[in-house]
Amino acid sequence: MKKFDYLKPHTLDEALSLLNQYGNRAQLIAGGTDVIVMIKQKKLFPDVLISLQGIPGLGQIDYNGMLRIGPMVTHRAIEKSELIRKEFSALTDSADVLGSVQIRNVATIGGNIVTAAPSADTAAPLLALGAQVKLKSMQTERTIPIEQFFTGPGETVLEKGQILTEILIPKPLPNTGSAYWKLQRRGALDLPILGVAVLLSLDKATVTCSDLLCTASPISTVLHSLEGDEVFCKEVRIALGVAAPTPMRATKAENLLRGKKISDELLKEVAETAAKEAQPRDSLRGEAWYRRDMIEVLVKRMAMRCIERILRPEETIFPVRLW
Partner 1 sequence: MGKQTLSFTLNGEPIQIEVEPHLTLLQVLRDKLEFTGTKEGCGMGECGACTVLLNGKTVNSCIFPALEVEGKSVTTIEGLTDGQGNLHSIQKAFIEYGAIQCGFCTPGMVLSAKALLDENTKPTEEEIRHGIAGNLCRCTGYLQIIQAIKEASEQ
Binding residues for ligand FAD (CB under 6 A):
27-35, 37, 52, 71, 98-99, 103, 107-108, 110-112, 114-115, 119-121, 158, 163-164, 189, 191
Contacts with partner 1, 131-170, as mask; x by CB under 8 A: ----------------------------------------
1 binds partner 1 (CB under 8 A): yes
Residue 42 or 210 having the CB closest to partner 1: 42
- Phi-psi bin for 156: left (phi > 0), alpha (psi -120 to 50), beta? beta
Residue 41 or 139 having the CB closest to partner 1: 41
Contacts with partner 1, 44-73, as mask; x by CB under 8 A: -----x-x-x--------------------
103 binds partner 1 (CB under 8 A): yes
Residue 173 or 188 having the CB closest to partner 1: 188
Number of residues binding to partner 1, judged by CB under 8 A: 28
Residue 83 or 101 having the CB closest to partner 1: 101
* Among ligand FAD, partner 1, none, residue 1 binds (CB under 5-8 Å by kind): partner 1
Exposed / middle / buried, residue 238 (Cβ in 10 Å: 0-12, 13-18, 19+): buried
Residue 75 or 300 having the CB closest to ligand FAD: 75
33 binds partner 1 (CB under 8 A): yes
210 binds partner 1 (CB under 8 A): no
Residue 79 or 296 having the CB closest to partner 1: 79
- Phi-psi bin for 128: left (phi > 0), alpha (psi -120 to 50), beta? alpha
Residue from 59, 70, 99, 192 touching partner 1 (CB under 8 A): that is: 99
3 binds partner 1 (CB under 8 A): yes
Which are the contacts of 61, defined by CB distance < 8 A and separation ≥ 6?
Answer: 67, 68, 69, 70, 73, 77, 78, 81, 83, 84
- Contact residues toward partner 1 (CB under 8 A) are 1-6, 8, 29, 32-33, 36-37, 40-41, 49, 51, 53, 76, 99-103, 105-106, 187-189
